[in-house]
Every structure is written in structure tokens, then in C-alpha cells.
A and B are shown apart, each in its own frame.
Chain A
Amino acid sequence: DAGITQSPRHKVTETGTPVTLRCHQTENHRYMYWYRQDPGHGLRLIHYSYGVKDTDKGEVSDGYSVSRSKTEDFLLTLESATSSQTSVYFCAIGGPTGLAGNTIYFGEGSWLTVV
């Protein structure tokens, strides 16, 4: 298994509160991603990072921000959580490294409920 740790794994929060999810990797990989998974939608890309301090938006980035101050950590922040952000959030790592077999690996997920 790829060395990806997400925290917290489960969280219940109230509408309007800030929430930060953390993804920690031990693979020293350049590329990291945040996806959300919702029934009937599959997984959708929120933000991704291609290096320290280098991030970009994905398909569903509204209401989310990210930061990457170290190679191993990629933080996803909901500045003011809304019920529509109740979801399962997955961190992933991987991308073109010039090495054979490079691919994307996913963490175990973080279940977020906004009440």
C-alpha cells in the first residue's frame, strides 16, 4: 500500500465552521490530489498540487482551499462548511515520474458530515 494517511478519518461539524483535512504521504511524490465522492457522482477532483506551494483548481473547487508547505503534507480547508460539503474526501498521490508503472494511489478516505 502507498504510504498515505488521512486525518481525521471521521468528523462531524456544524454549518459555518472551518474544517481542515490533512493528507500525509511518505512516498516523497511530487503530485497530490483531493477528491470528493458522492453517491451517483463518482469521484470529482477538488484541487491538486504539483509541488510545494504549487496548487491548482479541479472540477469542484468552489468553497475549498488547499495548501502545501511541505512535500509530504497537503491540506484541504473548508473555510465555512455547508451541508453540501457533506461527503467522503479522498487524498491521492501519483503522476508522471518518468518511471514505468507510475500511477495514482488513494488514501482511505475522510468522512465529513456537516450538520
Chain B
Amino acid sequence: AQSVTQPDIHITVSEGASLELRCNYSYGATPYLFWYVQSPGQGLQLLLKYFSGDTLVQGIKGFEAEFKRSQSSFNLRKPSVHWSDAAEYFCAVAPSGAGSYQLTFGKGTKLSVIP
């Protein structure tokens, strides 16, 4: 069975600082990979996804993620954090080649931003 680990439950960064959120997955092959963001009381918004090809993926709101097969990782990065980025971030995987996208989520990383 596939699994997703987000090692950091809570991260606090200063506004303007760089950010990296970690995500490691366990799966027999290369899965489809996603990052979602959730603001309090809201649904999930897709930041970016990786299906194949270029291992550096650009997303919305200035985020990017890099797929590293050798490390089974898909870390999310942003060069300069804004106060509005404070939210909870979820990494998710889906089995590649399957007939549906049954996502397995990590437990999330809550990001706090200090002005």
C-alpha cells in the first residue's frame, strides 16, 4: 500500500524567508504526486502536480516542487514567503496508470508566517 510522510507537523517562518516543506512517499513505482493548500475553514486548492517529465514542477502562487526518484521525495519550495501563505499544506500521491485518482494524503504541515 502506498503511504505519504510529511515529517514536519508545524513550521514557522518569517515573511520574506524561503520555505521548504518535505514530503516522502512509499510506492512500488513512480506515482502521480500532488501538493494542496488548505486555508482554515476552506476546501483544498491544488498548488501543483507531477505526472511525468521535467522533475521540477512550477505551480501557482510562486510555489515549485522537485521530484527526486532516488529519495522518493517531492518537496515543496517557495523562495520568499508572504503572510498570506499561512495555511496547511498537504502532499498526496495516486497510483500511476490506475483507472482513477485515489489520493493518499500525508497528515499535513501547518505553516505559520511571522510578519
Contact = CB atoms under 8 A, between A and B. Distances in A.
Interface string B17-55: 000000000000000001010000011111001000000
Given A40-B107, A42-B105, A42-B106, A104 B34 contact: yes
Main secondary structure on A side of the interface with B = strand
A64 to B, nearest CB: 15
Contacts of B45: 106
Interface string B37-79: 0000011111001000000000000000000000000000000
A43 B103 contact: yes
A106 B101 contact: no
Contacts of B36: 106
A101 B88 CA distance: 24
Interface residues of B, number: 23
Nearest to B42: A108
A43 B105 contact: yes
B44 A106 contact: yes
A38 to B, nearest CB: 10
